[in-house]
Amino acid sequence: MRRALFLAICLFTTPSIAAGVLPFDGIYGNESGCHLYATGDRGAGDYLLLTPDTFSSAALGCDFGALVSSDGVVFIVDAVCSPGGKSTVRISDFRSKGFALSVDNRNGLWRDLMPCPAEDLTLPEAHA
């Protein structure tokens, strides 16, 4: 009986596994990043790709661990990046101008991460 109660409490008090760290759906990136997500092909190598759980570029990859704070425009997440290790990532939502992202221990700001077109996200085998 105790075990069943424990499992029920765990089931109803833990966040959904399907939920991402960032509170939005969809895939965002530049043209090369959207192409990479849809096909697995890195193309020219200048890709930028943002999902609710990750950021990747040719120079850096980050797995988001937890949303630390948000005001609805700026999202601050704890992440593990390679290279760099534990990092703080700031993602800004500029609405019609897309997302911008910076990592605390890296120089630079990645901008213009726009929604990937839905048709580009359909894998070729799904068209059969």
Is 5 part of a structural domain of the chain? no
Per-residue DSSP letter, 124: G
More confident residue, 45 or 13: 45
- pLDDT tops 60 at residue 29: yes
* Per-residue pLDDT, 111: 92
Is 125 part of a structural domain of the chain? no
Is 11 part of a structural domain of the chain? no
Measure Cα distances from 43 to 10, 35, 38, 58, 100 in Å: 43, 8, 12, 11, 22
Band of the pLDDT at 16, cuts 50, 70, 90? very low
Band of the pLDDT at 119, cuts 50, 70, 90? low
- pLDDT tops 70 at residue 93: yes
Mean pLDDT of 18-32: 86
Dump the DSSP string for 40-91.
S--TTS--EEE-SSEEEESS-EEEEEEEEEE-SSEEEEEEEEETTEEEEEEE
Number of domains in the chain: 1
- pLDDT tops 70 at residue 90: yes
What letter represents residue 101's amino acid? L
Average pLDDT, the chain: 80
Is 123 part of a structural domain of the chain? no
Give the structural domain span for 101. Answer: 23-117
Is 10 part of a structural domain of the chain? no
More confident residue, 122 or 77: 77
